[in-house]
Amino acid sequence: MSEEKKDLKIEKFLDQFYSDLLMAERDRPLTAETYKLSAREFLLWLEHKQLKLSSVTAKDLFYYSVFRKTLGISEITLAKDLSALRALGEFLVRENIWTDNFALVLDRPKSPRPLPAVLSVNEIEALLSSIDTSTPLGLRDKVIFELIYSCGLRISECCSLKVIDVHLDERFILVKGKGGKERIIPFGDQAYVLLVEYFNTVRPMLVKEKVVPEVFVNYRGEAISRKGVWKKFKEIQTLAGIDVKVHTLRHSFATHLLQGGADLRSVQELLGHSSLSTTQIYTHVTDRDLEDAHKDYFPGHKNVTDK
């Protein structure tokens, strides 16, 4: 068969596959087009290897995925390739070309987990110091974000924190995290001073005669919502000129602990992670800091010009 006829045969098959994706699978045109392009790459590889589509095995698909990896293709593209191969397999089974969808035995590649954004200690201080504590609500905001940072709290944990779970004399809070899992987190002098003032002056002024179990309340004396905390943080970060999320305070808490010499297990307990592997992402952040420092200060990486 001539090369031209081979190309026409491949394109005709791909058009059928594309139509099947739109009609049978109800895929969006963009998804169908993406899968069609990935399928073309696979068919061209089969042609190069002189393999018939009808005789493809799971082993052949594995070899193809290894071949794609050797090209230096990203994990995201490899994941897209796998999705396309699985869709192609479903089509081939419906067309009685394959007896089973062999692509289902391939493992989906794991996309690299992005490193969390982290603020420096100076940036944290700039953020917290931008809060105007001359008003009752301003002082409340200062306590909220100081506690989120110094205790590594999630927003939901901060909003649901109960008065009964704040132990001022012992200087720790009892936090109920995901799945109702409890953990004890100590807090420092700054948080202690702010909490005492908040409990003695601000909170009674806001709550008045109401009985509210939650520590943090809004201007109506009701438990503050996650949306309320998020809106306040947006205002504060605008004043400080720092564009991050509230959760970045929790990331910064964990990273600063590790940079200060805390062990990974302790940080895991303080964060309430069920798996140590979740906490290990912060070691990559500190490793990146070390690499940056090495590049900045090690003379072997600097361009030295002759005088």
- CATH code of the domain in which 66 resides: 1.10.150.130
pLDDT digits (tens, 9 = 90+) for 271-304: 998 888 788 888 766 666 555 544 554 455 444 4
Exposure string of 178-213, with b = 16+ CB inside 10 Å and e = fewer, is eeeeebebebeeebeebbeebeeebbeebbeeeebe
Residue 305 covered by a domain: no
pLDDT of residue 105: 85
- Tell me which of 105, 130, 145 is where a domain ends: 105
- Tell me which of 105, 129, 158 is where a domain ends: 105
Whether residues 254 and 167 fall in one domain: yes
The verdict on whether 178 is a catalytic residue reads yes
pLDDT of residue 189: 93
pLDDT of residue 152: 95
Nearest to 177 by CA among 151, 195, 144: 151
CB-CB neighbours of 40 under 10 Å: 16
pLDDT of residue 180: 83
Residue 19 covered by a domain: yes
The verdict on whether 284 is a catalytic residue reads no
Whether residues 182 and 276 fall in one domain: yes
Nearest to 246 by CA among 258, 262, 231, 230: 230
The verdict on whether 154 is a catalytic residue reads yes
Number of domains forming the structure of the chain: 2
Q: Tell me which residues of the chain have a pLDDT lower than 50.
A: 293-294, 297-298, 301-307
CB-CB neighbours of 121 under 10 Å: 11
Give Cα separations from 128 to 148, 151, 163, 211, 274 (angstroms): 11, 15, 23, 29, 30
The verdict on whether 48 is a catalytic residue reads no
> 36, 183, 203, 273: which one is catalytic?
273
Taking the C-alpha atoms of residue 156 and residue 97, their distance in angstroms, rounded to an integer, is 52
pLDDT of residue 302: 46
Residue 233 covered by a domain: yes
The verdict on whether 247 is a catalytic residue reads yes
The model's pTM: 0.61
Whether residues 250 and 128 fall in one domain: yes
Judge contact between 181 and 141, C-beta under 8 A: no
Residue 115 covered by a domain: no
Nearest to 247 by CA among 160, 125, 146, 152: 152
- DSSP reduced 3-state for 162: strand
pLDDT of residue 148: 97
Whether residues 222 and 148 fall in one domain: yes
Residue 287 covered by a domain: yes
Whether residues 95 and 199 fall in one domain: no
Which CATH number characterizes residue 170's domain?
1.10.443.10
Residue 113 covered by a domain: no
Whether residues 96 and 166 fall in one domain: no
pLDDT of residue 101: 93
Whether residues 69 and 32 fall in one domain: yes
Whether residues 99 and 187 fall in one domain: no
Whether residues 157 and 53 fall in one domain: no
pLDDT of residue 305: 41
Whether residues 247 and 139 fall in one domain: yes
> 68, 154, 183, 232: which one is catalytic?
154
Whether residues 199 and 70 fall in one domain: no
The verdict on whether 64 is a catalytic residue reads no
Token pair listed for 104: 């289902």
Domain ranges, residue 159? 121-295
Taking the C-alpha atoms of residue 248 and residue 206, their distance in angstroms, rounded to an integer, is 28
pLDDT of residue 4: 57
Residue 306 covered by a domain: no
Q: Considering all CA atoms of the chain, what is the largest pairwise distance in Å, rounded to the nearest integer? A: 89
Residue 173 covered by a domain: yes
Whether residues 286 and 166 fall in one domain: yes
> 18, 35, 198, 282: which one is catalytic?
282
> 171, 176, 226, 247: which one is catalytic?
247
**Residues contacting 220, CB < 8 A, separation 6+:** 206
